[in-house]
Structure 1
């Protein structure tokens, strides 16, 4: 996909807000901070990429979506109505999206990594879960979670019961989270950096941008290629920003 970036405009990237964790009320201060970030980005954003796990859990029933998050959804709707491009990549906590963002907010949703060309630069974008070597147990379970039969089965339960089950697994169980302890493994052992290097063997990309690891990272993976991890909005409050003059930068939002 192509995004045209006019002079003076910027592209913003955010990941791993986990709104609703551990409870909606406890996550509300973080949500307010994220809303202030959206207002900041609103001033000069050509596009905003939400790179997964915006919610700690999300499941779309046929006529029901999870309670809460009205402030965030409303702000995204306002910005989209103003013409700001917004793209959403599902994470491992909010992978059960099935049309609500597209139909209600006009925001495209991606369930797999996607290549974007921003002016003349190639970006490989994705949440990051299930990529690279290792974590085979989670990769197997991810296929189950994404399967139509599992989603059909889950949808037949009452939403109140389904949400309680999902919240338990989201917080307690690595079957959803993956084997990810959010500890820096070193440049040679970071599996998303390894994944990026393997992709470069077949095709050039200027930037690899992922979330999932909850750690802001900048790792050179090729002579003219860099992997960035966006960090999170739980501990680091970091985000990515790109423009023609400065290239890609990781920043911390302090307001």
Structure 2
């Protein structure tokens, strides 16, 4: 993609809509929808890098209740011709084809390469990448197993969604102390993942979410890693103008 003059590519991650309750989540959702509305005039594309919802599961004919403001705004932007790309996170990993069929938004379950104005990107949510965290990686294999999804689908939505929402809110990724500070390049596993990828191929930018902490790390002379932060504590997002990638913070008055 070549970005037209005066246009930008925007990146957002980790909204966790619905957490810890629908009522407490609503002000954050309204801020997110207002932000989407504010960028529609100059957005060449929008990337949503996972955990948009604190829990999401698609039954064959049912999706979780709520989030109509967000879904309606995404539909409006897509209908206006703005490309939107969605990467599932660890909280909405049970997303199937609802976004694709209802909103015409492609859904990705793994990191994907993109090129904008001859700048190469590797983009994804970030969970389960890099060394360590073997417990989570084993758990993710169980949760994404088709048999596990089949078993869960047999629960009535009122029971299944309520149980999953309870477990999701308890997840340490929402408020864990380990997400409150930069751990150093040697201990940031996404930094290590990016450095390993650079051993076999050049990327100008790595952009991920999941970590809940805004970060900009210079990997070498020509490559940078960015983590987008979240819409719980930081209200940060990414903006690319064709040459430069920046982390931006939502105006607190918004």
Residue-by-residue CA offset, 1:154-199 (whole Å, 9 max, x unaligned): 001100111121112212245x88x883032013321101100000
Provide the TM-score with structure 2 as the length reference.
0.95
Q: How far does residue 213 in structure 1 lie from its aligned partner after superposition?
A: 0.5
Residue-by-residue CA offset, 1:15-48 (whole Å, 9 max, x unaligned): 0000000011110000011011101111100100
Contact 1:180–1:213 (Cα < 8 Å) also in 2: no
Map of 2:249 onto structure 1: 252
Structure 2 unpaired stretches of 5+: none
Contact 1:200–1:222 (Cα < 8 Å) also in 2: no
Map of 2:8 onto structure 1: 10
SS of match in other structure, 1:241 = strand
Superposed, which structure 2 residues align to 1:183-222 within 5 Å?
183-222=181-220
SS of match in other structure, 2:225 = strand
Structure 1 unpaired stretches of 5+: none
Superposed, which structure 2 residues align to 1:48-197 within 5 Å?
48-173=46-171, 181-182=178-179, 183-197=181-195
Distance in 1 (alpha carbons) for counterparts of 2:177 and 2:145: 23
C-alpha root-mean-square deviation of aligned residues, in Å?
Answer: 1.5
Aligned residues: 251
Q: Which runs of 4+ in 1 moved over 3 A?
A: none
Distance in 1 (alpha carbons) for counterparts of 2:148 and 2:2: 39
